[in-house]
Structure 1
Amino acid sequence: MVLFNKTIRKIHLWLGITCGLIASFSGLTGSLYVWQPEITAALNPKLLKVENNENIKEETLLKSAVSLIKTHNDSIDKIILPYREQQTTAIQFKNGKKCYYHPVTTEFLGEKSASISFFENLLNLHRTLGIPKMGKYIIGTSAIIFFLMLITSGVYIWWNAYANNLKQGLKLKWKAKKKKRNYDLHKVFGIYFFIPLIMIAFSGSYFTYSASYKKALGIFDRPNNNLTALQKNNSKDFSTLNETLFNSNEDYALRAIYFPKDGTDNYRLRYIKNRSIKAGYRKTKEIEITKNGLRTTLSDFKSDSNSNRIAAQFYPIHIGEIAGIFGRVLVFISGFVPLVLFITGFRIFLLKKNRGLKRKCVG
């Protein structure tokens, strides 16, 4: 048992020094991104805000989108209707430019600003470290290690030390000596935030290994032919894309249209239940249509399998939005915890190392 405990401590130490550093970076960038909607909206009122936007009807938004499509059709990569902090309509062009338009009048409002680009780059760093191809696997794998081994080994060490005196294990003595206070900070932050950290790490790795997650979540599925039936029922011919837009759905709001990239690609339409940020489940729908208007439903929260419904919640869980403002604040604070644990843990390591060197010198 003594050997096992020593092994766990060594695993916790070396994973903390390596994986903990990546987790610290992910936590800090994630914390800042939690408030991306509010910050970008405040910095870009001309591009993102519209007066009395809550009174604009869905039909009006669709009509203005159709008007923009007619004007810029061949050059559009995707068109993004009002969603989250963006109360205007945006077009991502094939040449890389992103421009914003009034959702009613289609008036040109301006191009993507530096602050919007900053948050896009921040998200890229958060998800990939800015490293093409391999970056997302570094982040995703470190999140799994952080979840499966680093946090769990820390909880085990804490329980092994304080199982008989839980109150002592939850105390932080600010007036204690530096060494003791540093140790207390490490144990207290680790144990108080281990559940939020597990949820953030587990949900975060989904974005790297989504296929594996969905396969594992398949255990919650039941035989269900609803989606297949829905796909068949919704495979209808509409003469134009415009007609498809106005007839495709009444229960969801159109979020974005992805345009064909070459002669063989189809249009993809993504829908969301609520355009604004709200607590609760994330409900989406996605359909695909050919250039001739043949429409097929790819997913719909109302009829999706349980595995797909659960998978759809990883984003709002990861960023805290599923629990409203409380969840976002919790994720924001939790994002700083890996850095606190890394610094305090590294100091514990240095203190033990120095203590060992002193013993050798004395010996």
Structure 2
Amino acid sequence: MADCDADPAVLSWARRYTRNPQRFEQEVRDALPKLTYVQQVAAEHDVAGEFVLLPWVESGFRPIPGRRDRPAGMWQIMPTTAAAMGLRVDRHYDGRLDVHASADAVMKLLSHYHDQFHDWRVADYAYNAGEFRTRKLVQQHGLPPATPVIPRWPVHDITREHLTKLLAMACVVREPDRFHVSLPTLTPSQHLVSVALPHSMPLARAADRAGMPLDQLKNLNAAFRNDVADTSIASYLMMPVSHAQQFRDALLNQAASASADRLPEASFATGIGATDATDASAAGAKPAQTVAGRARTHRVKSGESLWLLARHYSVSVGDLQHWNHLHGQSIKPGQVLKISASR
């Protein structure tokens, strides 16, 4: 949507985010599995890359629980908004904390806003201030010009600051060296996938079979409020690729050994694993491959950066710079980049 120098407030917030480089890098490292998953969902809906960072502005990618009529989840969705988005919220399950369901719902909403307003900045205002209020602003003032990058509309400071923070975080991602930070990388085994559940089970049992800490599994599946993964509500669990196969193997071994909670063989007719969509995501986490001796390419979209593309294709920023003869991290929408080496 804009570069780092488009508005002094954007640059100020970028420096504020990174004033403690080590802490900033650790926070990004902690958020990276969810951030990368959100990036995949955003690409499916053709949403501007900056919005991959929206949970950073809202919650730091933390699964904040909801209370009464308060917002919840890493997207900070209100209960009434959740209902309109088709996210279930009750005493057993809160879809606002479901990593996959909430990301998909938010990206659909943002795409809808952009289709209506044709400006990603206005889409962000609509997300923060509400669609009705934003539509009224457009009717009264028309769509904002390209500059200033932060529209001079009569909105609350928090709405203006919301867009400023989003652009600031995108600024840091585009130019990390400028702010003296090093952005972490995510290995293919750390990518998140959705693993199908054949039957309900306590999260503690699922964590044991996946060979991962219970707190980590709860963090990725915080929508289940009673610490039980109930397949009548959601028939999948989110976990890293490195633990997903162990979990599948444990379920298959359980079935083969005829344990007490064994399922009929018919339940395994189609296999236990990631859904089609998440299999595709997992495949996308593998290093890019060359086809017929030629390098694969990617056309840069608005809001994308070398770091985000490196995370998406599981290559390094250095590789992208080398393959494309880049001397810095600046890229432009429409630019065609090699995402693998030629043979």
TM above 0.5:
no
Task: Please state which structure has a larger fraction of its residues in strand.
Answer: 1
Bigger Cα Rg? 1
Task: Please state which structure has a larger fraction of its residues in helix.
Answer: 1
TM-score by length of 1: 0.23
By relative contact order (CA 8 Å, sep 6+), the higher-ranking structure is 1
TM-score by length of 2: 0.24
